[in-house]
């Protein structure tokens, strides 16, 4: 009793610290005045009297500080007391504590795991100095679409804008054979123009940058390599005397970039752009442009100027450029644009799950309050204010939430490792993702909010009246406390509603996925092996025809391997690069109309009418059979289409429709010098079916296929159709090695290639489905808990009803009915919320609308069935209530 | 009794032997109050000034009685020892 009365007194004496300061100030002032007056009465002059009083008192500030110490000491003491008390309370109810901690841990773990993705991918600044000043510049075509940049346009931008301190163009080659290290490999490298390293703000960590004399046509080839390449391939050896053979040319390595520098994404080496001659075409969109904003120039200003300059350029060059406008986009935004919608949706889902977890624990706490009513009532009766009770509740919630955070952070760390290991294809910067300080701070913030919400919710729902009443002996009403019951019902309805939102999102993603799998991409999706072969790139015609001869010999050898049904090659595999899209070709009136670019320029006004757009493909005749792409009209390439024969092409159906609607494309001539520099006329000899490139959801694009013997390509994918892909992969590899031991090979099955394009979707679907399932479990537990509680509370009522002759069916309906009504209310609210929220994931959907009725109905039915099942247990327990026992139990 | 009054009373009763820095009283008062041995409230003085008045609580009184008894025992013991050794 002593400790309680002490507690009560302390509670009354300790106000907030501002009260304490004011009280102290007033008290000291009063004291000094009294002493001063006494001194004056003793005959001192007023000034002297006051001085003497101060002297007598001692240092006012140091006294005040001592008093404050006393006060602070009390606060800390209180806090520890609350925590100790909370721990005792929780250890007395280990089941409740464990369930609460695990539930919260699930929510906090999910939110933390997804946040670590959001932080590493979207929020963390790029690893360059002042990364927010780096922008990507795009040409915009007449429809506002972002495009790469042509060199003359880049040069004009550089000369005519003032909002950027530096501007550089880069051209990334994704598959380049490099030898000189441990073994020949294929990797990515970029040709970069003079100011590239200024834009990025990064200089080589080892060695030096490019010298001016290395940045001109005809200069001896030099390269700067990535730290990754240097350590993994060159063993970190000194650079001198270690030339690298890049694309068949020896390059002297002059520098190594700092660890982690890999822009453009994936680049392992950088070479000076200026060693190749300048490009003159304004429609050869071969460059990506990066720039650094000038100091004090806001992005909007720089953007406005760039746009004005670009529109002026359009006015000057008309049809000679496709650029209608231009835009500067922050580099970070541009790099993460594709991943953003997915990550934001996932984060939303994780937060919803956390909210459900909090609601569930709240509900548990509320149920527990019932058993703690007397304890709390006693404390209130002896004077504990709401604030004091609140602090106690907060301390308990903080304990739960702290424990949950520890468990949750563990879950998150494991989850993040699993996610990074799974390498979902669509997420960039994954290597920078992990549970780090920022993420842990986030987790702690979430935990603090959770604790606050839980504690507040508990206190607000515990009315003083109710507590005072319970001191008198506890309520023994027939149906429990209506107010608290309503709150618990509200919580359950909210849980079901949020679950519906999550499940609706998951089912929309799932239906999109199924729709995607149903799409016929227009080519074989199984039973094939793909070999990626990269020969050194060369502009030399003789070298290129040697590559074609090699490829021809290889195709002949592969065709006769056991198990190979058909074999062919293509320069840009539908599930791969997408390197040669959107080339501009010109229709010719006769096969030899253009002999030079001057001839092309002469057609002037007609240029627009004659131009067409198509992806540039180089293929062998066998490719169409191997990929299962049917010939619709005309013919494929045949033995007559050798290097010296007239050049021929096969076009896709969509190109035929787009360029020659209602006309026959067969027999027409085009030139595609924009893509391969060869102005020679090409006769269209056949039309093949469309394919969906890159992903099955893509719209089939117009394609123009040329014969690989006539327009050799150094990068090809060989497709081998076979019902025994694994065996064929082995023998095919041997066949390549026999023909050229130095050829780097990558072999994959077409299933794997397809899977890679789906992995991003599979990943987000899996996570959202997981969150949805967890939410459904929690909501079901919530309803189960509430119905069970109601059965217990109403045992006596049920007994009476049964004694009066109620049938079992009536009792089951009575008990389960309540759960079902709540679930139905939650379902209705959830469907309403989903209607609004699923629109936010519209961009992630394919083949279904955000309000797909099948998804909505399916989720509603599943939820109702599960909830009904959850209500059955308590309902059956209710009918087993013995009337006699129920009545005696009071 | 308010803080200044307490210091005055201490000085007077101790025959001006206990003349401490008057300020040192206040941290002690706050501590005693936190421990629940005294309580305080604002009241107006005889000449209509606002002052904080302190009083012993029940627990304080009991504590005081115990401490006093303890002190008496202690000082008596010390005196006995001193008397015996000096005699």
pLDDT in tens, A399-413: 888 899 999 999 999
Please answer whether residues A681 and A671 qualify as being in contact, where contact means their C-beta atoms are separated by less than 8 angstroms.
yes
Contact A13 B31 (CB under 8 A): no
| Least confident interval from A47-61, A340-354, A447-461, A561-575 | A447-461
The residue among A31, A32, A62, A63 with the most chain B CBs within 10 A of its CB, best to mutate, is A31
Say yes or no to pLDDT of A597 above 80: no
Q: Is B38 helix (H, G, I), strand (E, B) or coil?
A: strand
In this complex, how many residue pairs, one in chain A and one in chain B, have their CB atoms less than 8 Å apart?
76
- What is the enclosing helix (H) or strand (E) of A756? helix A750-793
Query: How would DSSP label each residue in A601-639?
Result: HHTGGGHHHHEEEEEEEEE-HHHHHHHT--EEEE----T
Say yes or no to pLDDT of A547 above 70: yes
Query: How would DSSP label each residue in A362-403?
Result: HHHHHHHHHHHHHHHHHHHHTT--HHHHHHHHHHHHHHHHHH
Work out the average pLDDT over A494-508: 89
Query: A675 vs B43, which has greater pLDDT?
Result: B43
pLDDT in tens, A188-208: 899 999 999 999 999 999 999
Q: Is A540 helix (H, G, I), strand (E, B) or coil?
A: coil
Rg over alpha carbons for chain A, rounded to the nearest Å, is: 38
Contact B4 A13 (CB under 8 A): no
Nearest to A280 by CA among A149, A170, A152: A152
Strands A222-225 and A249-256: parallel
Say yes or no to pLDDT of A12 above 80: no
Work out the average pLDDT over A522-533: 89
Say yes or no to pLDDT of A600 above 90: no
- pLDDT computed for residue A849 by the predictor: 86
- A337 vs A264, A699, A833, A839, CA distance in Å? 15, 20, 27, 18
| Least confident interval from A237-246, A395-404, A565-574 | A237-246
Contact A67 B30 (CB under 8 A): yes
In which band, very low, low, confident or very high, does the pLDDT at A474 lie, cut at 50, 70 and 90?
A: very low
- pLDDT computed for residue B18 by the predictor: 66
- pLDDT computed for residue A426 by the predictor: 59
What does DSSP assign to residue A246? E
pLDDT in tens, A738-754: 998 878 888 888 888 88
Q: ∠ CA A139-A141-A146 to the nearest 5 degrees?
A: 50
Please give the backbone phi and psi of residue A716, each rounded to the nearest 5 degrees, phi first: -135, 155
- A669 vs A594, A596, A598, CA distance in Å? 11, 16, 18
Query: A248 vs A634, which has greater pLDDT?
Result: A634
Please give the backbone phi and psi of residue A57, each rounded to the nearest 5 degrees, phi first: -70, -35
pLDDT in tens, A802-833: 788 778 788 888 777 877 888 889 999 999 99
Say yes or no to pLDDT of A475 above 50: no
Work out the average pLDDT over A468-483: 49
Helices A482-518, A808-837: crossing angle, 10 deg rounding: 60
pLDDT in tens, A350-369: 998 888 888 888 888 777 77
> A75: which chain B residues are within 8 Å (Cβ-Cβ)?
none
Query: A373 vs A420, which has greater pLDDT?
Result: A420
Please answer whether residues A531 and A747 qualify as being in contact, where contact means their C-beta atoms are separated by less than 8 angstroms.
yes
In which band, very low, low, confident or very high, does the pLDDT at A16 lie, cut at 50, 70 and 90?
A: very low
Contact B52 A58 (CB under 8 A): no
ipTM score of complex: 0.87
- pLDDT computed for residue A537 by the predictor: 76
Say yes or no to pLDDT of A31 above 60: yes
Say yes or no to pLDDT of A707 above 90: yes
Say yes or no to pLDDT of A378 above 50: yes
CB atoms within 10 A of CB A536: 18
Say yes or no to pLDDT of A886 above 80: no
In which band, very low, low, confident or very high, does the pLDDT at A322 lie, cut at 50, 70 and 90?
A: confident
- pLDDT computed for residue A438 by the predictor: 85
Q: Would you call A594 exposed, middle or buried from its count of C-beta atoms within 10 A (0-12, 13-18, 19+)?
A: buried
Query: CA-CA distance, A568 to A631, in Å (whole number)?
Result: 15
CB atoms within 10 A of CB A849: 12
Share of chain A above pLDDT 90, in %: 29
Mean pLDDT for chain A overall: 84
Say yes or no to pLDDT of A626 above 90: yes
Contact B27 A69 (CB under 8 A): yes
Query: CA-CA distance, A859 to A835, in Å (whole number)?
Result: 13
Q: CA of B28: which chain A residue's CA is closest?
A: A67
Q: Which of B4, B26, B36 sits opposite A9 (nearest CB)?
A: B36
Say yes or no to pLDDT of A142 above 50: yes
Q: Which of A5, A31, A58 sits opposite B59 (nearest CB)?
A: A5
Say yes or no to pLDDT of A418 above 70: yes
- pLDDT computed for residue A424 by the predictor: 60
Please give the backbone phi and psi of residue A847, each rounded to the nearest 5 degrees, phi first: 75, 0
Contact B52 A27 (CB under 8 A): yes
Please answer whether residues A469 and A738 qualify as being in contact, where contact means their C-beta atoms are separated by less than 8 angstroms.
no
Q: CA of A35: which chain B residue's CA is closest?
A: B4
Rg over alpha carbons for chain B, rounded to the nearest Å, is: 17
Say yes or no to pLDDT of A860 above 80: yes
Contact A30 B34 (CB under 8 A): no
- pLDDT computed for residue A463 by the predictor: 55
Say yes or no to pLDDT of A52 above 50: yes
- pLDDT computed for residue A461 by the predictor: 61
Highest mean pLDDT among A155-169, A351-365, A422-436 belongs to A155-169
- CB proximity list for A33: less than 8 A, separation 6 or greater: B49
Chain A closest-CA separation from residue B19 CA (Å): 9
Work out the average pLDDT over A393-397: 83
- pLDDT computed for residue A480 by the predictor: 46
Work out the average pLDDT over A869-887: 75
- CB proximity list for A811: less than 8 A, separation 6 or greater: A798, A801, A802, A875, A878, A879
pLDDT in tens, B7-39: 888 888 887 776 667 888 888 888 888 778 888
Q: Which of B30, B40, B51 sits opposite A71 (nearest CB)?
A: B30
A interface with B, Cβ–Cβ below 8 Å: 2, 5-6, 9-10, 12-14, 23-24, 26-28, 30-31, 33-35, 38, 56-60, 62-63, 66-67, 69-71, 74
User: Which pair of structure tokens corresponds to residue A104?
Assistant: 């919260």
Chain A closest-CA separation from residue B44 CA (Å): 11
The residue among A3, A34, A74, A81 with the most chain B CBs within 10 A of its CB, best to mutate, is A34
Alpha helices in B1-87 (DSSP H): 3-13, 25-34, 58-86
The residue among B26, B44, B61 with the most chain A CBs within 10 A of its CB, best to mutate, is B26
| Least confident interval from A10-24, A58-72, A413-427, A546-560 | A10-24
In which band, very low, low, confident or very high, does the pLDDT at A609 lie, cut at 50, 70 and 90?
A: confident
Say yes or no to pLDDT of A483 above 70: no
- pLDDT computed for residue A55 by the predictor: 86
> B2: which chain A residues are within 8 Å (Cβ-Cβ)?
30-31
> B43: which chain A residues are within 8 Å (Cβ-Cβ)?
none
Please answer whether residues A722 and A528 qualify as being in contact, where contact means their C-beta atoms are separated by less than 8 angstroms.
yes
Say yes or no to pLDDT of A67 above 70: yes
Q: Is A697 helix (H, G, I), strand (E, B) or coil?
A: coil
> A33: which chain B residues are within 8 Å (Cβ-Cβ)?
49
Chain B closest-CA separation from residue A841 CA (Å): 58
> Token pair 């070709």 is at which residue?
A585
Dihedral angle at the C-alpha atoms of A426, A431, A436, A440, nearest 10 degrees?
Answer: 10
The residue among A4, A6, A9, A21 with the most chain B CBs within 10 A of its CB, best to mutate, is A9
Chain A closest-CA separation from residue B73 CA (Å): 26
Say yes or no to pLDDT of A314 above 60: yes
In which band, very low, low, confident or very high, does the pLDDT at A559 lie, cut at 50, 70 and 90?
A: very high
- pLDDT computed for residue A76 by the predictor: 72
Share of chain A above pLDDT 70, in %: 90
- pLDDT computed for residue B87 by the predictor: 64
- pLDDT computed for residue A556 by the predictor: 94
- pLDDT computed for residue A590 by the predictor: 83
- pLDDT computed for residue A313 by the predictor: 93
Say yes or no to pLDDT of A165 above 90: yes
Chain A closest-CA separation from residue B53 CA (Å): 10
pLDDT in tens, A648-683: 999 999 999 999 998 999 999 998 887 887 888 899
Helices A94-118, A386-422: crossing angle, 10 deg rounding: 50
> B60: which chain A residues are within 8 Å (Cβ-Cβ)?
none
Say yes or no to pLDDT of A228 above 80: yes
> A9: which chain B residues are within 8 Å (Cβ-Cβ)?
36, 39, 57, 59
């Amino acid at each position: 009793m002593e400790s309680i009365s002490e507690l009560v007194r302390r509670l009354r004496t300790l106000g907030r610290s501002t009260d304490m300061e004011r009280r102290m100030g007033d008290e000291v002032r009063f004291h000094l005045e009294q002493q001063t007056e006494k001194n004056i009465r003793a005959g001192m002059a007023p000034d002297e009297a006051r001085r003497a009083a101060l002297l007598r008192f001692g240092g006012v500030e140091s006294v005040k500080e001592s008093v404050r110490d006393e006060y602070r000491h009390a606060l800390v003491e209180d806090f520890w007391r609350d925590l100790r008390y909370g721990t005792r309370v929780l250890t007395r109810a280990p089941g409740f504590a464990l369930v609460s901690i695990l539930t919260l841990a699930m929510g906090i773990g999910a939110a933390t795991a997804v946040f670590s993705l959001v932080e590493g991918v979207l929020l963390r600044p790029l690893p360059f100095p002042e990364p927010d000043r780096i922008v990507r510049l795009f040409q915009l075509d007449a429809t506002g679409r972002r495009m790469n940049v042509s060199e003359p346009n880049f040069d004009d931008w550089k000369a005519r804008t003032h909002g950027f301190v530096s501007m550089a163009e880069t051209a990334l080659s994704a598959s380049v054979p490099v030898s000189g290290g441990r073994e020949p490999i294929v990797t990515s490298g970029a040709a970069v123009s003079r100011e590239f390293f200024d834009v990025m703000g990064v200089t080589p960590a080892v060695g030096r940058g490019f010298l001016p004399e290395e940045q001109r046509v005809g200069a001896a080839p030099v390269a700067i390599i990535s730290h990754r390449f240097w350590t993994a391939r060159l063993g970190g050896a000194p650079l001198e005397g270690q030339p690298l053979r890049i694309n068949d040319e020896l390059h002297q390595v002059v520098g190594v970039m700092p660890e982690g520098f890999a822009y453009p994404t994936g680049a392992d080496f950088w070479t000076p752009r200026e060693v190749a001659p300048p490009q003159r075409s304004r429609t050869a969109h071969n460059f990506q442009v990066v720039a650094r904003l000038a100091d004090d120039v806001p992005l909007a200003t720089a953007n406005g100027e760039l746009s004005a300059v670009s529109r002026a350029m359009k006015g000057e060059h008309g049809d000679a450029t496709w650029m209608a406008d231009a835009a500067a986009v922050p580099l970070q935004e541009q790099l993460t644009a594709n991943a953003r919608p997915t990550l934001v949706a996932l984060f939303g889902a994780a937060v919803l799950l956390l909210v459900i977890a909090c609601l569930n624990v709240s509900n548990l706490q509320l149920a527990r309050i019932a058993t703690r009513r007397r304890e709390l009532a006693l404390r209130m009766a002896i004077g504990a204010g709401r604030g004091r009770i609140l602090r106690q509740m907060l301390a308990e919630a903080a304990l739960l939430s702290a424990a949950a955070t520890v468990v949750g952070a563990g879950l998150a760390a494991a989850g993040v490792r699993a996610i990074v290991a799974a390498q979902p294809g669509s997420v960039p910067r994954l290597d920078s993702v992990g549970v780090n300080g920022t993420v842990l701070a986030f987790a702690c913030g979430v935990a603090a909010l959770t604790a606050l919400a839980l504690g507040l919710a508990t206190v607000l729902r515990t009315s003083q009246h109710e507590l005072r009443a319970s001191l008198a002996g506890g309520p023994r009403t027939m149906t429990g406390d209506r107010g608290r019951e309503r709150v618990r019902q509200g919580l359950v309805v909210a849980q079901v509603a949020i679950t519906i939102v999550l499940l609706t999102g998951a089912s929309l993603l799932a239906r999109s996925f199924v729709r995607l799998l149903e799409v016929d991409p227009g080519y074989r999706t199984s039973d094939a092996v793909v070999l990626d072969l990269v020969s050194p790139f060369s502009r030399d015609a003789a070298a290129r025809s040697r590559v074609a001869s090699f490829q021809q010999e290889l195709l002949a050898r592969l065709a006769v391997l056991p198990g190979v049904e058909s074999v062919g090659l293509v320069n840009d595999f539908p599930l791969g690069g997408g390197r040669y899209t959107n080339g501009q070709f010109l229709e010719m009136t006769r096969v030899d109309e253009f002999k030079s670019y001057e001839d092309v320029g002469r057609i002037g006004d007609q240029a627009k009418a004659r131009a067409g757009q198509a992806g540039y493909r180089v293929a062998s005749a066998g490719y169409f059979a191997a990929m299962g792409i049917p010939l619709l009209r005309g013919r494929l390439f045949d033995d007559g289409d050798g290097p010296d024969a007239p050049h021929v092409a096969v076009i896709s159906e969509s190109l035929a429709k787009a360029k020659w609607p209602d006309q026959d494309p067969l027999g027409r001539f085009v030139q595609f010098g924009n893509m391969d520099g060869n102005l020679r006329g090409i006769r269209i000899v056949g039309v093949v079916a469309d394919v969906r490139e890159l992903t099955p959801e893509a719209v089939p694009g117009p394609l123009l296929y040329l014969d690989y013997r006539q327009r050799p390509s150094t990068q090809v994918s060989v497709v081998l159709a076979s019902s025994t892909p694994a065996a064929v992969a082995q023998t095919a590899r041997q066949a390549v090695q026999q023909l050229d031991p130095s050829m780097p090979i990558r072999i994959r099955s077409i299933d794997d290639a397809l899977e890679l394009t789906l992995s991003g979707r599979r990943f987000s679907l899996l996570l959202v489905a997981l969150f949805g399932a967890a939410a459904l479990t929690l909501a079901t537990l919530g309803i189960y808990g509430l119905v069970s509680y109601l059965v217990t509370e109403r045992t006596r009522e049920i007994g009476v009803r049964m004694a009066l002759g109620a049938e079992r069916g009536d009792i089951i309906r009575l008990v389960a009915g309540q759960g079902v009504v709540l679930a139905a209310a939650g379902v209705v609210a959830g469907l309403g919320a989903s209607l609004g929220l699923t629109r936010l994931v519209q961009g992630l959907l394919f083949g279904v609308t955000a309000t797909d009725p099948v998804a909505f109905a399916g989720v509603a039915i599943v939820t109702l069935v599960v909830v009904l099942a959850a209500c059955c247990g308590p309902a059956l327990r209710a009918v087993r209530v013995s009337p006699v026992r129920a009545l005696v139990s009071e | 009794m308010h803080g200044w009054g307490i210091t005055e009373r201490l000085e007077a009763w101790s025959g001006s032997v206990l003349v401490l820095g008057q300020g040192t009283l206040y941290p002690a008062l706050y501590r005693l109050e936190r421990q629940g041995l005294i309580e305080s409230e604002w009241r107006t003085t005889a000449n209509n000034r606002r002052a904080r008045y302190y009083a012993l609580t029940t627990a304080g009184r009991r504590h005081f009685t115990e401490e006093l008894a303890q002190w008496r025992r202690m000082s008596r013991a010390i005196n006995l020892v001193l008397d015996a050794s000096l005699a």
